[in-house]
Amino acid sequence: MKLIVSDMDGTLLNQTWRISEENKQAILEAQKQGIEFVIATGRPYTNVTAILEEAGISCPVISLNGAETRDVEGNLLASQPLSKEQVRNVHNILLEEDMYFELMTSIGAFSLSEERCRAISRYIALRELPDLLEEEREKIVNMMFAERVRNENCKFVDSFEPLLEDNDIVILKIFALTTYEDRLVKADARLRKLDGLAITSSGHENLEVNNLNGHKGYAVLEYAKSKGIDASEIMAMGDSYNDLTMLTSVGRGVAMANASEHIRNQVAYTTKRNTESGVAHAIYEMLASRVQNV
């Protein structure tokens, strides 16, 4: 393997949305052995870099599901934006289905409701951290919310119209969430009737809308091609449906133990849960197989 690609949420990050020491050391060891490491995530670039800097890791980043690719210095290498017509069509459907959603743009994230954003953050924390006392969980929710607003340059606005009318603002991804399954199902069905979109999900309660080529599989293979790396020489790790395009297009696709059975059945390799430093386990297993094959 010459390239390792890892998703973040549910994969590289643990239950408190941090990189464990075990995962950090495994990544550094792979880099030391001359293997390139790349992040491929649905998160915006500025959110990713804050987490990487805290862990002491430097690497290229494929962000917003593949809408942007940046090198280790942060220089933009590739972009797959949505057209304003696509954004407006999606915007109208999501409003009609009463979905909470955000526009991820070249100048940060935009939301119509801070209250709904907080409420969904609280719901996700309840699911991810069920054993914590309510007071402790609320502290984590507030901390994560503040970090997200800061790191993603998130702004709360009364209308998206100014963004839709401003040709200087590039819209890269639309991120929609709801705690109501019927709304999610209806919105998903309507969005899939639109042309030129990649529609995926990174959780039970969300939809992620990108340009047709704005997905991880396309971005990973294009980046590898620019480095002269064949698909067979790539290992990719992930847990969600927005990871499938890259997991199934590389030589060594690795699903996390916390991934759904459907995702695990699509790939040849599995590893431990994200809360058990499964990324480190997968990297060391791959490194050991390289030695045996020499």
Tell me the C-alpha distance between 4 and 252, whole Å.
9
Domain ranges of the chain: 3-80+215-293, 84-211
Structure tokens at 269: 């390799």
Which of 265, 99, 81, 88 lies closest to 189 in space, CA to CA? Answer: 99
227-246 confidence digits (pLDDT tens): 999 999 999 999 999 999 99
CA dist 176 and 201 (Å) reads 9
> What span, in angstroms and rounded, lies between the C-alpha atoms of 154 and 275?
28
Query: Contact at 8 Å (CB) between 278 and 11?
Result: yes
Instruction: Give me 284's structure tokens.
Output: 């060391």
Q: Mean pLDDT in runs of 10 for the chain (294 residues)?
A: 96 93 98 98 93 97 97 97 97 96 94 86 72 81 81 90 94 93 95 96 87 96 98 97 96 97 96 98 94 63
- Domain 84-211: assigned CATH number: 3.30.1240.10
Question: 3-80+215-293 is classed in which CATH architecture?
Answer: 3-Layer(aba) Sandwich (3.40)
Report CA torsion sign: 168, 172, 177, 183: positive
Q: How high is the pLDDT of residue 293?
A: 64
Write out pLDDT tens, residues 102-157. 999 999 999 999 888 888 777 777 777 777 788 887 888 788 788 878 878 889 99
